[in-house]
Amino acid sequence: MRTIAVDAMGGENAPKAIVQAVLQAKAELTDTKFILFGDQKKIRKLVGSDQDRIEIVATSEIINDEDEPVKAIRTKKDSSLVVAAQFVKQGKADALLSLGNTGSILACGIFIIGRIKGIARPGFMPTLPVKNSDDGFNMIDVGANAKSKPEYLLTWAKMASYYAEKVRGVKNPRVALLNNGSESDKGDDLHQSAYQLLLDSDLNFVGNIEGNELLEGKADVVATDGFTGNAVLKNIEGTSSVLIHLLKDKLLNSGFMVKIGALLIKKALKGLVSKFDVDKYGGAVLLGVDAPVVKTHGRSDQRAVYFTIKQIDKILKENIIGEFRSEFAVKN
Amino acid sequence: MRTIAVDAMGGENAPKAIVQAVLQAKAELTDTKFILFGDQKKIRKLVGSDQDRIEIVATSEIINDEDEPVKAIRTKKDSSLVVAAQFVKQGKADALLSLGNTGSILACGIFIIGRIKGIARPGFMPTLPVKNSDDGFNMIDVGANAKSKPEYLLTWAKMASYYAEKVRGVKNPRVALLNNGSESDKGDDLHQSAYQLLLDSDLNFVGNIEGNELLEGKADVVATDGFTGNAVLKNIEGTSSVLIHLLKDKLLNSGFMVKIGALLIKKALKGLVSKFDVDKYGGAVLLGVDAPVVKTHGRSDQRAVYFTIKQIDKILKENIIGEFRSEFAVKN
């Protein structure tokens, strides 16, 4: 039996969307148990009388997006997130899911659950969409680390490649390095050294990738330093959100005929927007800590949370953490 | 009389679009002379018999996008770009415009025309669009430097702020630092130090900006290290290009009614695409070299080149280079 600790209080649609997603997933994943952390009364009302593979742990505090991440996990000790992380640390649960404050989730993973031995720095990894396929790609690190070293990038690439293969089913994942040009000598010292490490590794390294090529589907895994990865990830979100906003604005304010046209294309447009919803592929995973720690977007609805639960269940089923433990304990 | 050296052979629409843009601008800018570099026969045919403030210098080589930038300017000594840069260096022209190989243009600026005394590293600076206004913002450096130091970012911010004020007419430009969070202690050592330098400067520093906020119009000038700036600029281009591609694809392949809808919204959509054409605001300027060196996109048509010529003329008229010379000679 696998057990997932669910912070039921994070995100805009908490706890309702989260609890409903848990109930939906539970019906399907018959070998998985769920522990929900948060406002017991509210959660119980949503869960109803169901007590099969579901447990509620009452907590009295909530970490908000406005909270300073590290300070919050130190001061809000009875928050749904911190107590859920403690359950994982104590072995009472196998994985952590939250829709809350990203920085606090990362801090819970690193400081409460802790690193896998042999992994110097965990990396934060979303799955992002690509142009002409539904496969997407993994980018790591997107901001768990402001400061990166070449060997971190190698470790991140190894973990992400393994993840892409086992969880997303990509055969022999193509690994690329985000750099400022395609040639092998591109980049600053960090990226030049990372290039060499990746080249000398047994990964399927396909070379450098540039910022404009990320969504083209040229790689299954993109390794990047956490600073650049953070800027680029946020920029993908920002650019697509501004473009979609401008498109909607244009369609609504360009006269009657355009409005009619907008009605006719509405459904097609919706598909486009969902393609660029970076949460479609489940949550972002903090790889390198001693349990799956998964953050999904605060805006997530029941469906998005449901997919994230399935993703976590797959990570547990494939024993990704166990593999990392033996891989990095031996080689590092 | 101001003189602009124009590489007539760079870009997809060379030399036709370039020569036509020069003729269009020349009619308007009555105090500006143009020297066109390239295939004399082709250019002469396009120019016709007009000899007023226009000169053609025959060159025999062209630097392509495939050429290795620095090697190309060393080996293709009779290329339109290199000879044009030599004219600027020798004082026979005041500014350089090219649509060609970005790396070679930067190399011409840095190695042939040379840095302004007191400026350690020139920065490459486009003007990019923002969400709810036509003003745009300047981002610097977007890739002239793979390795950056805090003091470079300060110099780039100073030059860009001055440019935004004098050339784009922005009063007291808001300067922000691209960082991985809004708080003052965010970022790696480079960005933490750059933050302090910007804070202590007499610039109108408004703090950190994150990757998702760039196109929101929160700053008039964004300072960034050249590595991150390069990744983010390319990512803006890549993300918008993929989104627009997907949108067009959806509209054409979602059945008859959607096609009708697409026809109705076509014009509105066109405005959106042009908003995200990053070349709309003229070319990107290499700031910190001893003359305006401006690169505009290889895809540019006559209109885009025309706007870039007007931009260069404004830079010359405002004596931006002269201001930089005295500003940085005194203070550094």
Residues 179 to 198 of B: which have CB under 8 A from any A CB? 180, 183, 186-189, 191
Question: Alpha-carbon distance A178 to A208, whole Å?
Answer: 6
pLDDT by residue (tens digit) across A240-264? 888 888 888 877 777 888 788 878 8
B226-236: buried (b, 16+ CB within 10 Å) or exposed (e) per residue?
Answer: bbbbbbbbbbb
CB B298 within 8 A of CB B10: yes
Q: Say yes or no: A250 contacts chain B, CB-CB below 8 A.
A: yes
- pLDDT on residue A280: 65
Q: Say yes or no: A55 contacts chain B, CB-CB below 8 A.
A: no
- pLDDT on residue B278: 57
* Residue A146 to residue B187, Cβ atoms within 8 A: yes
Q: Say yes or no: B215 contacts chain A, CB-CB below 8 A.
A: yes
Q: Say yes or no: B261 contacts chain A, CB-CB below 8 A.
A: yes
Burial of B2 (0-12, 13-18, 19+ CB in 10 A): middle
Q: Please count the other Cβ atoms lying within 10 Å of the Cβ belonging to residue B217.
A: 17
The two three-digit tokens of residue B234, written as one number: 């390319």
Backbone angles phi, psi at A285, to 5 degrees: -110, 135
Q: Which of B44, B45, B82 is nearest to B60 (CA)?
A: B82
pLDDT by residue (tens digit) across B100-159? 999 999 999 999 999 999 999 999 999 998 988 888 999 999 999 999 999 999 999 999
Identify from B213, B218, B242, B297 which residue to disrupt to test chain A contact, counting A C-beta atoms within 10 A and taking the largest count. Answer: B242
Q: Say yes or no: B66 contacts chain A, CB-CB below 8 A.
A: no
CB B214 within 8 A of CB B232: yes
Helix, strand, coil percentages (3-state) for chain A, rounded to 5, are 50, 20, 35
B169-185: buried (b, 16+ CB within 10 Å) or exposed (e) per residue?
Answer: ebeebbbbbbbbbeeee
Q: Say yes or no: B117 contacts chain A, CB-CB below 8 A.
A: no
Q: Which of B52, B64, B54, B61 is nearest to B18 (CA)?
A: B54
The mean per-residue pLDDT over the stretch B236-242 comes to 90
CB B187 within 8 A of CB B179: yes
- pLDDT on residue B274: 66
* Residue A238 to residue B214, Cβ atoms within 8 A: yes
Domains, in order of start, for chain B: 2-119+288-331 (3.40.718.10), 126-241 (3.40.718.10)
Distance from CA of A255 to the nearest CA of B (A): 9
pLDDT by residue (tens digit) across A275-332? 666 556 789 999 999 999 999 999 899 999 999 999 999 999 999 999 999 999 865 4
**Residues of chain B contacting residue A262, judged by C-beta atoms under 8 Å apart:** 261, 264-265
Q: Where are the alpha helices (DSSP H) in B4-149?
A: 16-28, 40-47, 69-75, 80-89, 102-107
**Residues of chain A contacting residue B186, judged by C-beta atoms under 8 Å apart:** 146
Identify from B234, B245, B256, B277 which residue to disrupt to test chain A contact, counting A C-beta atoms within 10 A and taking the largest count. Answer: B234
Residues 11 to 50 of B: which have CB under 8 A from any A CB? none
The mean per-residue pLDDT over the stretch B155-164 comes to 98
Interface A-B, measured as beta-carbon pairs within 8 A, has a size of 184
Of A81-95, A98-112, A248-262, B137-151, which range is least confident?
A248-262
Measured CA to CA in angstroms, residue B84 lies from B4, B66, B72, B76, B312 at distances of: 9, 20, 14, 12, 15
Burial of A256 (0-12, 13-18, 19+ CB in 10 A): exposed
> What is the band of A265 on the pLDDT scale with cuts at 50, 70, 90?
confident
Asked if pLDDT for residue A217 goes beyond 70, the answer is: yes
Asked if pLDDT for residue B268 goes beyond 90, the answer is: no
Asked if pLDDT for residue A157 goes beyond 90, the answer is: yes
* Residue B146 to residue A244, Cβ atoms within 8 A: no
The mean per-residue pLDDT over the stretch B77-85 comes to 98
Identify from A67, A149, A235, A270 which residue to disrupt to test chain B contact, counting B C-beta atoms within 10 A and taking the largest count. Answer: A235
CB B220 within 8 A of CB B164: yes
Spatial neighbors of A291 by CB under 8 A, at least 6 apart, are A88, A93, A94, A95, A96, A109, A113, A321
CB A175 within 8 A of CB A221: yes
Q: Which of A214, A116, A127, A218 is nearest to A164 (CA)?
A: A127
Place of tokens 């906003």: A245
Question: Alpha-carbon distance A229 to A51, whole Å?
Answer: 42
* Encoded amino acid at A51, one letter: Q
Q: Which residues pair with B128 in a beta bridge?
A: B137
- The chain B residue lying nearest A190, using CA atoms, is B147
Q: Which of A6, A63, A15, A64 is nearest to A41 (CA)?
A: A15
SS3 category, A21: helix
* Residue A230 to residue B180, Cβ atoms within 8 A: yes
- pLDDT on residue B266: 80
Distance from CA of B174 to the nearest CA of A (A): 20
Asked if pLDDT for residue A131 goes beyond 80, the answer is: yes
> What is the band of A208 on the pLDDT scale with cuts at 50, 70, 90?
very high
Q: Which of B201, B198, B161, B159 is nearest to B177 (CA)?
A: B198
The mean per-residue pLDDT over the stretch A57-62 comes to 98
Query: Helix B256-275 to helix B226-252 angle, to the nearest 10 degrees?
Result: 160
* Residue B272 to residue A247, Cβ atoms within 8 A: yes
Q: Following DSSP, what letter does each residue of B144-202 receive, concatenated? A: S-SS--HHHHHHHHHHHHHHHHHTS--SS-EEEEE-SSSSTT-S-HHHHHHHHHHHHSS
Q: Which of A65, A124, A138 is nearest to A100 (CA)?
A: A65
The mean per-residue pLDDT over the stretch B239-253 comes to 83
Q: Say yes or no: A274 contacts chain B, CB-CB below 8 A.
A: no
- The chain A residue lying nearest B268, using CA atoms, is A250
Q: Say yes or no: B213 contacts chain A, CB-CB below 8 A.
A: yes
- pLDDT on residue B330: 60
**Residues of chain B contacting residue A240, judged by C-beta atoms under 8 Å apart:** 239, 243
Asked if pLDDT for residue B270 goes beyond 80, the answer is: no
* Residue B143 to residue A180, Cβ atoms within 8 A: yes
Q: What is the mean pLDDT of chain B?
A: 93
- pLDDT on residue B332: 45
